[in-house]
Amino acid sequence: MDKVTFITDGACSGNPGPGGWCVIINKNNLTEEFFGGEVLTTNNKMELTAVIKGFENLKKQSDVLVKTDSTYVINGITQWLPNWKAKGWLNSSKKPVANKELWISLETHVKKHNVKWQWVKGHSGDSENERADELARKGIEELSNSI
């Protein structure tokens, strides 16, 4: 089974506002970088999108290490999701879970792979996280230039 690492980040200029996402995929000593943006979004949507885009680039079942600075993504997929589903997609405040469609997509992808999650402190000098942040911001910049 392939061993794959995703380094992910999401960014938003205003929240909501224009946003960008990035996933850097390391597999078999090869690195690929993917990034993009959305006109009106939130930081949390971009964090989720980054991870989902990583999984969308996998062709077969893999051992995946996801390195992210998003506790929202890690806690959501490892802790909160079962409770949300059991409560009919309501959060602890009894309000609809934000980004439900993205959580469903992420869960579908995660079930196909052996996934481990690693939190990385953002903006702390971790070179991989800094590169992902740079590309997520480039997603916003390129989006702004195309409008």
The residues that are catalytic are 9-10, 47, 69, 123, 133
Residue 94 DSSP code: S
Type of residue found at 41: T
Rounded-to-integer distance, Cα 131 and Cα 138, Å:
10
Distance CA 37, CA 49 (A): 10
User: How long is the chain?
Assistant: 147
Phi, psi (degrees; rounded to nearest 5) at 38? -135, 145
User: Is residue 120 a contact partner of residue 71, using CB atoms and an 8 Å limit?
Assistant: no
CA diameter of the chain? 45
